[in-house]
Chains A and B, each alone.
Chain A
């Protein structure tokens, strides 16, 4: 059982380039999330999705876009990479049910923008 899979694990981008961070989960979870973790800080929510075709902004959405065409996949796109987007990105998913179920996290994507 793979859980939440993120690709790539590492990436270096030049300023102004674009890229897509991939996230796939095989647990049939309705809810999916993207967080970023800056050095010495906690995770901050970028975007989230409650089901296929439904997405919404989190705390720090500027500079990012998402889509959710299937239950399994929730890619995060950076259109014009900026140094401020250097961070570790985590994708997570959770079951849609009562009591706010724990989120399952991927292993993260470490992104550097130079």
Chain B
């Protein structure tokens, strides 16, 4: 069965520091998808990124960057020059493509989440 582990329960940084949130996953599928979601204090879930298992190219979007390494089953998320507005719970999630031509219907397995607090 698939599993997602976010070992960092809480991280506290001062504004403008860089911070990396770790995500390690387990799956038997060779095709799968990894996601990051942000949950700000208001409680909604905001989609940040999706990565396919066959695309290991790292991605940068403004102050956000993601490092995908299949060799270590990791999909880490870095925020550069953190800001107070980045304070939130961040979830890593996995969706398998399914077995032998089937489909998982996009079901997500979430990690426990990392609480990020950015102090001014």
- Given A43-B91, A48-B107, A108-B44, 12 other A-B contacts at CB below 8 A? A31-B105, A42-B91, A42-B111, A45-B107, A92-B45, A99-B52, A100-B33, A100-B106, A103-B47, A103-B106, A106-B44, A107-B43
| B1-59, CB < 8 A from A | 4, 6, 9, 33, 35, 37, 43-45, 47, 50, 52
**Chain A to chain B contacts (Cβ below 8 Å), 26 pairs:** A33-B107, A33-B108, A40-B9, A40-B112, A42-B4, A42-B6, A43-B108, A45-B109, A48-B107, A50-B105, A58-B107, A90-B45, A92-B45, A94-B106, A99-B33, A99-B50, A100-B50, A100-B104, A102-B47, A103-B106, A103-B108, A104-B47, A106-B44, A107-B43, A107-B44, A108-B43
Give the distance to chain B from A68, nearest Cβ to Cβ, in Å: 13
Chain B CB within 8 A of A77 CB: no
Chain B CB within 8 A of A12 CB: no
Q: Which residues from chain A sit less than 8 Å from chain B, CB to CB?
A: 31, 33, 35, 40-45, 48, 50, 58, 88, 90, 92, 94, 99-108
- Find out whether the CB atom of B107 lies under 8 angstroms from the CB atom of A102: no
Residues of B within 8 A of A107 (CB): 43-44
Residues of A within 8 A of B113 (CB): 40-42
Q: Which residues from chain B sit less than 8 Å from chain A, CB to CB?
A: 4, 6, 9, 33, 35, 37, 43-45, 47, 50, 52, 91, 93, 95, 97, 104-113
Q: Which 4 A-B pairs have the closest CB atoms?
A: A42-B110, A105-B45, A100-B33, A100-B95
Residues of B within 8 A of A99 (CB): 33, 50, 52
